Amino acid sequence: MTSSTETIHELANQKYKYGFVTDIETDSVPAGLSEDIIRLISAKKQEPEWLLEWRLKAYRHWRTMAEPRWPKVDYPTIDFDRIVYYSAPKQRPKLDSLDEVDPELLKTFEKLGIPLEEQKRLTGVAVDVVFDSVSVATSFKDKLGELGVIFCSMSEAVREHPDLVRKYLGTVVPYTDNFYAALNSAVFSDGSFCYIPKGVRCPMELSTYFRINAAGTGQFERTLLVAEDSSYVSYLEGCTAPQRDENQLHAAVVELIALDNAQIKYSTVQNWYPGDEQGKGGIYNFVTKRGICAGVNSKISWTQVETGSAITWKYPSCILKGDGSVGEFYSVALTNHFQQADTGTKMIHLGKNTSSTIVSKGISAGKGQNTYRGLVRIAKSATHARNYTQCDSMLIGDRCGAHTFPYIEVNNNSSQVEHEATTSKIGEEQLFYCRQRGLSEEDAVSLIVNGFCKEVFRELPMEFAVEAQKLLGISLEGTVG
């Protein structure tokens, strides 16, 4: 027991390895939020008039809203006037190739292990990188272009494909949706846009890498992904931030649209800076993610591994509108030290024969508080809908908390809804079994926890699954006594 306590200590003090700061000149707007700031952001990005109008409408609506306090997370009131809403690496007006990217920036991504460089072509992942507020580089554009796949930064999409953006932006998450979605709509600076044409199976995984670098800034990106009839795309998202004593706000919006027979697989490995072991610093990750299965037999699958952030608060959701559409949510959320997570999903069944699966694994260690909050709503029109929900929580240590708040609303009698939740600690017998066979306590715990999360990990694309397991190891190993 003592030996493992020591290891806990050792590992707890393990450095957040992405905590470095890149010294790079930035182009920022003054802190604070007003209509002028929004106009300034819009002007900097040379946006069309309709988008500025939309931003202003969102801002005016946001002003009427109150900051929500219902999640089971605890944090001091955010001063929205002290946040810098736009920060971009200073650069030439337009980038034509990666060679023109600031070498300092490239170094950053090298450190992060992001396959931006050509030699990484073998990994077969197309990456869009969002650094602070703007998208800095997108790889594999030409190859994707041949198939008609559009994968670019949001700003570029606004310039090059305004009709598509205008048609879909805000249709899944309207600016009136919630406090942070409204804020995001007003100030979003960049993000990724992805469009998969009819019948195309995207040949590679698309990936966005988010990085908050500058101090005192908030990151507000917006991702919009449209999958036309019978198309398929797998999309990855990763995030890191430097180690700072202050709390930084990340309020993103992700909108997915799947038309007839389309499939979208959206995976996230979220590793924002979680704050130190005293709970100082860290990112507030307040994100709105929602997809709509608009067409028949379409499918949206969310997979998330949440190990970072001081506070995670997000509910990737599916609106199952098309008949026979499928929604999935697989999640591993880990909270250690003073981390708090209030996460889960919403499955809104509207179409006939729709089905959804929710598998959520929560792990709490240290003084972490981990909450699953989810909604399954079966509308009257959703005849023969099916839902299966499983929420398992594991507690490691006696000062953490695990909470489960599911909401189940069933409005017809041909549907079946099941919800199951368990909370327990690592089984003594399981540990004993492993120890008896010569595994160290460390390895035994790691084995058991990985087994606990396996159902989720196997939904992740290969590269991510490896990264997720490593991350979990770093964040967790040795916390067990």
Q: Interface residues with other proteins (CB under 8 A)?
A: 70, 380, 393, 395-425
Residue 389: CB partners within 8 Å, gap ≥ 6? Answer: 357, 358, 360, 374, 376, 406, 417, 418, 419, 420
Q: How far is the CB of 425 from other proteins (least distance, A)?
A: 5
Residue with tokens 């999958």: 227
Cβ distance to other proteins smaller for residue 155 or 404: 404
Closer of 50 and 407 to other proteins (Cβ)? 407
Smallest separation, CB 118 to other proteins (Å): 49
Whose Cβ is closer to other proteins: residue 123's or residue 422's?
422
Amino acid at 248: Q
- Closest distance to other proteins from the beta carbon of 198 (Å): 37
CA distance 112 to 82: 28
Give 397 or 473: the residue with its C-beta nearer to other proteins: 397
Residue with tokens 């990264």, as numbered in its chain: 467
Residue (285 or 404) nearer to other proteins, CB = 404
CA distances to 274, 439, 467 from 474, rounded to whole Å, are 13, 18, 11
For other proteins, the closer CB: 166 or 425: 425
Task: Count the neighbouring beta carbons within 10 Å of the beta carbon of residue 104.
Answer: 12
Shortest separation between residue 182's beta carbon and other proteins, angstroms: 18
What's the burial of 31, exposed, middle or buried (CB within 10 Å: 0-12/13-18/19+)? middle
First to last CA, the chain: 6
- CA proximity to 191, closest of 245, 141, 255: 255
* Beta carbon nearer to other proteins, 148 or 397: 397
Where are the strands (E) in 212-309, listed by range? 222-227, 232-240, 247-250, 253-258, 263-270, 282-293, 299-306
Smallest separation, CB 345 to other proteins (Å):
15
Q: Are 309 and 343 in contact (CB under 8 A)?
A: no
From the CB of 188, what's the least distance to other proteins, in Å? Answer: 28
Identity of the residue, 238 or 368, whose beta carbon is nearer to other proteins in the bound complex: 368
Closest CB to other proteins among residues 252, 449 = 449
Separation CA 201–CA 183 (nearest Å)? 34
Backbone angles phi, psi at 253, to 5 degrees: -130, 135
Cβ nearer to other proteins, comparing 256 with 396: 396
Minimal distance in Å, beta carbon 70 to other proteins?
7
Please report the DSSP string for 253-266 in residue order.
EEEEEE-TT-EEEE
Q: How far apart are CA 255 and CA 165, in angstroms?
A: 11
Q: Enter the tokens of residue 409.
A: 């609303």
In the complex, least distance from residue 404 CB atom to other proteins, rounded to whole angstroms: 4
> Which amino acid makes up residue 288?
T
| Minimum gap (Å) between residue 394 Cβ and other proteins | 9
Q: Is the separation of the CB atoms in 35 and 62 below 8 Å?
A: no
Q: Which is nearer to other proteins, 219 or 355 (CB)?
A: 355
Q: Which residues pair with 151 in a beta bridge?
A: 194
Residue closer to other proteins (CB basis): 61 or 386: 386
DSSP 75: -
Angle CA 326–328–333, to nearest 5: 170
Distances (CA, A) of 372 to 30, 255, 358, 392, 472: 37, 22, 11, 9, 18
In the complex, what is the shortest distance from the CB of residue 257 to other proteins, in angstroms, rounded to a whole number?
29
Report whether 4 contacts 12 (CB < 8 A): no
The helix/strand/coil state of 226 is: strand
Amino acid at 107: K
